[in-house]
Amino acid sequence: MFAVRNCRSFITFTNLKVTTRNPGLWQRSLSIQQYENPAGNNDMPIKMENPYKEPPKTCILCGVTVDYKNIQLLSQFVSPHTGRIYGRHITGLCGKKQKEVSKAIKRAHHMGFMSVTLKEPAFLKDPNVCDIKYPE
C-alpha cells in the first residue's frame, strides 16, 4: 500500500498538464493494474469446466442395439391399427436410430418375422414410447 501511494502521487504530479480531461479514469485504471497480477493472492476463481453441465440429451434407443429379430422392440414404433412405421416427429428418435429401426422393420417384414399390416396382439399392451396423437 505504501508503494502504491507513492507511485500514484508521482505520476499525477508529472502528468498534470496532459491528463486534465479524465483524471479519475487514469487513477482508476492504475489501481486495476496494481491488482491484476498480485503476488501470492489465492482468491481468484480456479478455471474448470462447468460443474453444472447437464449430460447430453439422448434418444430412448441410445446405447441399445436394434436387431431385426427383436420384433417386440420394433413393434413399439409401429401403429397398432395399421402396422405403419411412425415418423421421426412421433418416435422422437435421433436420425441414426430412426434409420436403423426403419431398416430393421422392413427387413423383418421381408424375412417373415414381423407382420406388415398389423401389430402382434401379444405386444399391444407394451409401454407406449411414441408421441402419437389421434385426431378427435
Q: Which residues in this chain contact other proteins in the complex, by CB under 8 A?
A: 56-59, 62-65, 69, 94, 96-97, 107, 110-117, 120
Phi, psi of 85 (to 5 degrees): -80, 135
* Cα–Cα distance for residue pair 83/85, rounded to 1 Å: 7
Q: How far is the CB of 59 from other proteins (least distance, A)?
A: 6
Judged by beta carbon, residue 45 or residue 56, the one nearer other proteins is 56
Judged by beta carbon, residue 4 or residue 124, the one nearer other proteins is 124
Judged by beta carbon, residue 59 or residue 130, the one nearer other proteins is 59
**Segment (H or E) for 100:** helix 95-111
* Cα–Cα distance for residue pair 43/47, rounded to 1 Å: 12
Q: How far is the CB of 82 from other proteins (least distance, A)?
A: 14
Q: What is the CA radius of gyration of the chain?
A: 34
DSSP 7: H
Q: How far is the CB of 79 from other proteins (least distance, A)?
A: 15
